[in-house]
Amino acid sequence: MDARTLKEGVVAGRLDSDALASGFADLHKPLSDHEALVAADRCYFCHDAPCITACPTDIDIPLFIRQIATGTPDAAAKTILTQNIMGGMCARVCPTETLCEEACVRQAAEGEPVQIGRLQRYATDGLMKKGIHPFSRAASTGRRIAVVGAGPAGLSCAHRLAMYGHDVVVFDARPKAGGLNEYGIAAYKTTDDFAAREVDWLLKIGGIEIRNNTALGRDVSLDDLTTEYDAVFLGMGLGGVNALTAPGSDKDGVLDAVQFIADLRQVEDLSTLPVGRDVVVIGGGMTAVDAAVQSKLLGALNVTIVYRRGRDRMNASVWEQDLASAKGVRIITNASPVAVHGNGTVREIEFEFTDDDLDPTGETFRLAADQVFKAIGQKLDGDNLPDLDGRKIAVTGAGRTSVKGVWAGGDCAAGGDDLTVTAVAEGRDAAEDIHAQLMGR
pLDDT (tens place) for every residue of the chain, 441 residues total:
444 445 678 999 999 999 999 999 999 999 999 999 999 999 999 989 999 999 999 999 999 999 999 999 999 999 999 999 999 999 999 999 999 999 999 999 999 999 999 999 999 999 999 999 999 999 999 999 999 999 999 999 999 999 999 999 999 999 999 999 999 999 999 999 999 999 999 999 999 999 999 999 999 999 999 999 999 999 999 988 899 999 999 999 999 999 999 999 999 999 999 999 999 999 999 999 999 999 999 999 999 999 999 999 999 999 999 999 999 999 999 999 999 999 999 999 999 999 989 999 999 999 999 999 999 999 998 889 999 999 999 999 999 999 999 999 999 999 878 899 999 999 999 999 999 999 987
Which domains occur in the chain, in start order? 3-25+241-378 (3.50.50.60), 33-129 (1.10.1060.10), 144-239+380-438 (3.50.50.60)
* CA 99 from centre of chain: 15
* pTM attached to this predicted model: 0.95
Dihedral over Cα of 253, 257, 258, 262: its sign: positive
Number of Cβ atoms within 10 Å of the Cβ of 124: 29
Grouping H, G, I as helix, E, B as strand and the rest as coil, residue 441 is coil
Q: How many CB atoms sit inside 10 A of residue 4's CB?
A: 13
The residue type of 383 is: D
